[in-house]
Amino acid sequence: MISDPSTESAPSWQQSFQTVAITLLTAAFGAGAAYWFGAPAPFLIGSSLAVTCVGLFGMKVNVPRHLRDMCFVIIGLTMGAGVTPDVVETAKQWPLSFLILGLSLVVIIVGCRWLLQKFWHFDPMTALLSVVPGHLSYVLGLSAQTSGDLTSISVIQSLRLLALTILVPFAVVLIGLEADAVAAQAAIMPLTMFGLSLIMSFAIGYVFNRLRLPAAYLLGGLIWSTGSHITGAIDGTVSPYVAIPAFITLGALIGTRFSGVTLAQLKRAFAAGAVVTLAAFSISAFAAWCVSLFIDAPFSHLLIAFAPGGVETMSAMAVSLDADPAFVAAHHVMRLFILTFLAPIMLGMARRSSKNDL
C-alpha cells in the first residue's frame, strides 16, 4: 500500500506551526507579566525569560527565520526614526569613543579568557570563543571549524546574551534613565510610508545578507529609516502596535538559544558564564564611564552602547529605554567590525597555544 505523501508531511508541518505558536504565546505571556510588574524593557525581558524557562524544561521552541528577519527590519526602522540632524552633528565626538571601545574589547577577551583557563581549566580555543563579546553567529561559525567545545561555547555565549538583556535595563534605571517601552508620544509614520519603508529595508537587508554582513536586516531598516528621516522624506516613527510585537519576538528569539540544552550542560557552564559575563559588563561599564569624561553623552546611553550584548538586542533596548538609538547602534556595529578582524587574529594565537600545550 502506498501512503499519501501529503498525509505524511502534515504532522511535521503541524508540529512546526504548533512549536512557533507556543513560543510566541509564551513570549507574549512573559512580556505581559513583566509589563504588569513594572520591569524595565518588559517586552524584551519578560519574553526572553519565559521562553528560556520553557525551553530548559524540555518544550520545543522556535522563531522562524523569516519572522526573525521581519522583526529585525521593524526594530531597525524604529531605531532610525529617532535620528535627527542634531544627532549627526554630535558624531564628530565618536572617534574617541570608538577607540576606547576597541581597547575595552581587547581587555574583555584577554581577561575573561584567562579566567576560564585559570579557574575552569578550559582549553585555549574553547576559552577564547566563549568570551568573544558579541557576533554570536560569527563566533559559532568559527567554533564549528575548530577543536573547541561547541556546547560550552554556545551555552556561555547564550547566557551572556540573556544575562545582559536582563542586567542592562535594571542598571540603566538604577542610574536614573526613565524606562519606557516605546515612545508613545511620537508621531506615527503614515501607513503608505511604512509599507514603502518595509520594502526598501528588506531590499537593503537582502543585499547585506548576501554580502554576509552581521545583523543584515536590522542594518537595512536602520539605514533606510535614518536616511529617509534625515532628509525629511519620511516623518514619524513605527506604530507601537507593530514595534511592541517585534520586541516580544526578539525576546523569544533570545530564549530559543537554550532550546535543547540539558540541565547538566547548563549547570556545567553556568558558573563560568556568569563570572565572565559580569566581568565583561564591569569592564564595559568602566570604559563607558571613561568616555563620559570626554564627550557630551549621558552615561546611561554609553552603558547601553558599550554593553557586550547582541547588536539587535542592545539596539532594540536603546529604543525601549529611550536612549539615543543612532549612538548605540553605531557602537555595536563598530564592535562587530572590530571583532571581525580581531577574532581570527586571536584565534590563530589560541591555536598556537593549544599546539604548545600538546
Distance (Å, rounded) from C-alpha 154 to C-alpha 258? 9
Q: Mind listing the pLDDT tens digit for each residue in 307-329?
A: 988 766 787 778 777 777 778 87
User: In the chain, where are the structural domains located?
Assistant: 65-357
Locate all alpha helices (DSSP H) within 231-262, ordered by sequence.
Answer: 240-255
Which pLDDT belongs to residue 358? Answer: 53
Rounded CA separation 280/284 (Å): 6
pTM of the model: 0.71
Average predicted confidence (pLDDT) for the chain: 81
Distance CA 342, CA 246 (A): 32
User: Which one has a higher pLDDT value, 79 or 87?
Assistant: 79
What's the grid cell of residue 66? 523569516
pLDDT digits (tens, 9 = 90+) for 2-36: 444 444 444 466 778 899 999 999 999 999 998 99
Q: Angle CA(109)–CA(134)–CA(203) in degrees, nearest 5?
A: 150
Percent of the chain with pLDDT over 90: 30
DSSP annotation string for 55-78: HHTT------HHHHHHHHHHHHHH
User: Rounded to an integer, what distance in angstroms lies between the CA atom of residue 350 and that of residue 18?
Assistant: 43
> What percent of the chain shows pLDDT beyond 70?
82
